[in-house]
Amino acid sequence: MPKKSPIADVVMHPVRLRIIQQVGTRGVTTSELRAALPDVTQATLYRHVAALVEADILAVVDERRVRGAVERTLALGGRMAHVDHAELREMGEQELRQSFLTFLAHLGETFDRASTDGAFRDFLGFGQVQLQVTTADLTEIQARLTELLTPYMTAKRPGSRTVTLATALIPEPDEER
């Protein structure tokens, strides 16, 4: 029986996915997180933030005193909420399905929230394309995408708008088997 992936256990929780989305490419304070997620109790929010920090999904990048309490500013940590191929291979079939469905549900929630914006369709795009690749090709594609996207993952620039780019690589069944 495959062992569970620790990062999947941490990331594939609906509240944690929402926290990661709020942090995005910018730093957010714990107060900003509480305001952005009003349906999540403070204790629950702090418990999930602690789990994400412990797993290096989030990092504390600043702390300051506010009326006697310490307010932390959070940013994406070293692991950047990414489940790598080794961890995907370690997941059982049910865990893999659940992780993917959680990802899709989170993407749907993001779509629903964004669709209330009047300029939503000016920035909306989605599509699907089939590629013929080897594992070496995928490694190169991922490296080149990272290189291409890195300049756009920095702090907000004048005239820019935050968008979510989601990817899913789903191989077709191997016809030779």
Spans of all domains in the chain: 6-117
Q: Cα–Cα distance between 122 and 92 in angstroms, integer?
A: 40
- pLDDT > 50? residue 4: no
Q: Inform me whether the pLDDT recorded for 53 exceeds 60.
A: yes
- Tell me the whole-structure pTM to 2 decimals: 0.61
- 45 band by pLDDT with thresholds 50, 70 and 90: very high
What pLDDT shows up at residue 33? 92
CB 135 within 8 A of CB 169: no
pLDDT of residue 2: 42
- Of the segments 6-15, 106-115, 118-127, which one has the largest average pLDDT value? 118-127
Alpha-carbon span 138 to 51, nearest angstrom: 31
Residue 1 is predicted with a pLDDT of: 41
Assign 20 a pLDDT band (cuts: 50, 70, 90): confident
Report the alpha-carbon distance of residue 97 to residue 113 in Å, rounded.
24
Report yes or no: 10 and 51 within 8 Å, Cβ to Cβ: yes
Whole-number pLDDT of residue 42: 92
Task: Using alpha carbons, select from 52, 35, 34 the residue that is nearest to residue 43.
Answer: 34
The yes-or-no verdict on residue 5 having pLDDT over 90 is no
Please check whether the domain covering 6-117 is classified as CATH 3.40.50.150. no
